[in-house]
Amino acid sequence: MRVKTLLLAGLLVAFGGTIGVGAAWAQTPGNVSGKWQGTWVYQNTSLGSGQIVMTLAQSGTKATGNLLVTGTPVERSGSVTVLVQGNDVYFVYPTGLTGYLTLAGDEMKGQLDGQNPANVILKRQK
């Protein structure tokens, strides 16, 4: 009986987690289309900082565009793809650039991960 109870509890957790993820992705995505400009700074500020200009075109929960990044020791400019879940913006391409930003109106803030994580603040240009 104990094994059946544990198995049933495990299945409920598994299906509940799946339902929860599906519901989260069902949120209306925030609008990230347009030109964004701002700054980035390594969390270890002695490593440097720079500028970011990003232009995105959004279709549903996916946005693609171009990214121009200055001040990095490794080239990070080029094509970019992000996924938008509610107000969370997840970088998925290029693969060397991961992390997420939080959208609040015409501003995005957050952290991009890598060998040296960086804090980012972007503002939509009008």
Which tokens in the block code for residue 95?
Answer: 């693969």
Q: What is the DSSP letter of 114?
A: S
- What pTM was computed for the model? 0.77
Give the 3-state DSSP-derived string for 11-79, with helices as H, strands as E and coil as C.
Answer: HHHHHHHHHHHHHHHCCCCCCCCEEEEEEEEECCHHHCEEEEEEEEEEECCEEEEEEEECCCCCCCCEE
Is residue 28 a part of any domain in this protein? no
Q: What is the mean pLDDT of residues 108-113?
A: 94
Q: What is the mean pLDDT of residues 17-34?
A: 68
Helix (H, G, I), strand (E, B) or coil at 116: coil
Q: Please write the tens of the pLDDT for every residue from 32-58.
A: 999 999 999 999 999 999 999 999 999
pLDDT at 26: 61
Confidence of residue 12 (pLDDT cuts 50, 70, 90): very low
More confident residue, 9 or 92: 92
Is residue 86 a part of any domain in this protein? yes
Total structural domains within the chain: 1
Structural domain span for residue 116? 34-125
Is residue 15 a part of any domain in this protein? no
Residue 29 has pLDDT above 90, yes or no: yes
pLDDT at 120: 97
Helix (H, G, I), strand (E, B) or coil at 106: coil
Is residue 46 a part of any domain in this protein? yes
Q: Which CATH number is 52's domain given?
A: 2.40.128.20
Is residue 4 a part of any domain in this protein? no
Is residue 25 a part of any domain in this protein? no
Is residue 6 a part of any domain in this protein? no
H or E segment to which residue 88 belongs: strand 88-93
Confidence of residue 74 (pLDDT cuts 50, 70, 90): confident
Q: Please write the tens of the pLDDT for every residue from 78-100.
A: 999 999 999 999 998 876 678 99
Q: What is the DSSP letter of 86?
A: T
